[in-house]
C-alpha cells in the first residue's frame, strides 16, 4: 500500500519528535511491504518565519491531497517569542484552528492508557492504578459552546456576556457514528456523556446517540452525566472504553484523563473528518525550553503515528506492532527524562526512537 502522508514538524521539539515517528513508520512500512510517501510542510511559528502567516493556502491544499497528516507541536513561549506580539489571528495556534476547520476535523480522539511500567506515576490510589485502564475520549471538535454565537454587552451600566451552545442532529449523528465505529475496533462499549438533566442540547444529544446505537447492536451503550463521569474517571477509570461527548465536556474530561495516566508525554491524539482522513499529533506542547537538545519524549508522536495507521489506513496489525514495540522498550527499562524513575536507563529522544524502531519485527 502507498501511504501519502503530509508531515508538519512544527515548532520547538516538534521537528525532533516527528523525525523519530518517521523513523518508526519507515521501519514498519518496510516490515510489511508498504511504500511511504512523506512530504514536510510548515505550520505555526515556522510558517510565520517563512511566510508571515501561521498557515498558508498551499499547505492546506497539500494536506487535503494527502491520506493523512502527522504533526509535531505548534507554538513557542508566549512570554518571549516574537510570534506572540502579533495579532491573535496571526499567532502559531491560529494555524491549528484554521487547519481543523479547513479539513473539517470534527472528531477528536484522545486515548488514555496506563502502561503497567509507569503505574507508579499515576496519581490515583495503588489499588486503582494496579487495575490499569485503557480508554479513548471521542470529543466533538467543531460545534457546541466554543463555536456558538457570543457577545458582550453593557446593559444599564452592567457588563453582560453571552455564549451560545448549539448542536444540530447531523453534527451529533456524525460524531456518534465515529464513536461506535471506533468502539468496534476496541472493546465494543460506548459511554455517552452529557448533561441531559439540565440542557436541551444534551437531551437532543442523547436522543440522537440512542438512534445511532440501533445500527450497532454489537456495541454496548450507556449514558452518564458529565459530573458523574468526572468522578468516575478518578474512582474507576477501568470501566471506560470509548467516552463519547460534546466539545466543552470533552475538552475538560480529556485533560482529566491525561492527568491520571501520569505523563502527558505518552499521550497521542487524532482529529478525523467524515472520511478516513485524519490529523495526528501528540497531546503535549512544543516545550521550547528543551527544543534542539535531544531531550524530548517522542513516544506520544510515535503512538500518534500508530493511530494514523489504524484509523486512516485500516492497518491494525502494523499499529499493534508499533504499540507493542513501545511496551517492550518500557518493559526493558528505557526512559526519557520526563518519565525517568529509579532503576531505569535514561535515553535521548533519538535513542528512544531507535530503540522502538529496532523492536519492530524483532
In total, the chain counts a number of residues equal to 362
Maximal C-alpha separation, the chain: 72
Inter-residue contact 83 to 19 (CB < 8 Å): no
Find the catalytic residue in 90, 98, 146, 351: 146
Strand partners, 163: 150
Grid coordinates representing 133? 485502564
151 catalytic? Reply is no
Catalytic-residue membership of 11: no
3-class DSSP state for residue 218? coil
The catalytic residue among 251, 338, 354, 358 is 251
Q: Establish whether 195 is a catalytic residue.
A: yes
Whether 314 sits among the annotated catalytic residues: the reply is no
Residue 211, SS3 per DSSP: helix
> Residues 253, 137: contact at Cβ < 8 Å?
yes
Rounded to 10 degrees, the C-alpha dihedral 355/297/13/21 comes to 40
Q: What are phi and psi of 277, to 5 degrees?
A: -70, 140
Cα first-last separation, the chain? 22
Active site residue 334: no
Outline where DSSP puts E strands in the chain.
2-10, 35-40, 68-73, 107-113, 134-140, 150-155, 158-163, 189-194, 220-225, 242-245, 268-272, 278-282, 334-335, 345-346
Contacts of 318 (CB under 8 A, 6+ apart): 28, 29, 31, 32, 34, 306, 309
State how far the Cα of 310 lies from the Cα of 19, in Å rounded to an integer.
20
Side-chain half-sphere exposure of 134, counting CA atoms within 13 A: 9
Residues tagged active-site: 146, 195, 227, 251, 255
Amino acid at each position: 500500500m502507498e501511504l501519502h502522508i503530509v508531515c508538519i514538524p512544527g515548532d520547538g521539539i516538534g521537528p525532533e519528535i516527528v523525525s523519530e515517528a518517521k523513523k518508526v513508520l519507515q521501519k514498519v512500512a518496510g516490515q510489511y511491504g508498504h511504500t511511504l510517501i512523506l512530504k514536510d510542510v510548515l505550520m505555526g511559528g515556522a510558517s510565520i518565519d517563512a511566510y508571515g502567516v501561521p498557515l498558508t493556502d498551499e499547505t492546506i491544499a497539500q494536506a487535503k491531497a494527502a491520506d493523512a497528516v502527522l504533526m509535531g507541536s505548534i507554538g513557542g513561549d508566549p512570554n518571549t517569542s516574537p510570534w506572540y506580539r502579533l495579532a491573535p489571528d496571526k499567532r502559531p495556534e491560529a494555524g491549528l484552528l484554521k487547519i481543523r476547520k479547513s479539513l473539517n476535523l470534527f472528531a477528536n480522539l484522545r486515548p488514555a492508557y496506563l502502561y503497567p511500567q509507569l503505574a507508579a506515576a499515576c496519581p490515583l490510589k495503588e489499588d486503582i492504578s494496579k487495575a490499569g485502564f485503557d480508554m479513548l475520549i471521542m470529543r466533538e471538535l467543531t460545534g457546541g459552546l466554543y463555536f456558538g454565537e457570543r457577545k458582550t454587552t453593557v446593559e444599564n451600566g452592567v457588563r453582560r456576556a453571552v455564549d451560545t451552545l448549539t448542536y444540530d442532529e447531523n453534527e451529533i449523528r456524525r460524531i456518534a457514528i465515529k464513536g461506535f465505529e471506533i468502539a468496534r475496533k476496541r472493546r465494543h462499549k460506548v459511554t455517552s456523556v452529557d448533561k441531559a438533566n439540565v440542557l436541551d442540547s444534551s437531551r437532543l444529544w442523547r436522543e440522537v446517540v440512542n438512534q445511532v446505537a440501533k445500527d450497532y447492536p454489537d456495541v454496548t451503550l450507556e449514558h452518564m452525566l458529565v459530573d458523574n463521569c468526572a468522578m468516575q474517571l478518578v474512582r474507576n477509570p477501568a470501566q471506560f472504553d470509548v467516552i463519547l461527548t460534546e466539545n466543552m465536556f470533552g475538552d475538560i474530561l480529556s485533560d482529566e484523563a491525561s492527568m491520571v495516566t501520569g505523563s502527558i508525554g505518552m499521550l497521542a491524539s487524532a482529529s478525523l473528518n467524515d472520511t478516513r482522513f485524519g490529523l495526528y499529533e501528540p497531546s503535549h506542547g512544543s516545550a521550547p525550553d528543551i527544543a534542539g537538545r535531544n531531550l524530548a519524549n517522542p513516544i506520544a508522536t510515535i503512538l500518534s503515528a500508530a493511530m494514523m495507521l489504524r484509523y486512516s489506513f485500516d492497518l491494525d496489525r502494523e499499529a499493534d506492532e508499533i504499540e507493542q514495540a513501545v511496551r517492550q522498550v518500557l518493559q526493558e527499562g528505557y526512559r526519557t527524562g520526563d518519565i525517568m524513575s529509579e532503576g531505569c536507563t535514561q535515553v535521548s529522544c533519538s535513542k528512544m526512537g531507535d530503540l522502538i524502531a529496532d523492536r519492530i519485527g524483532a
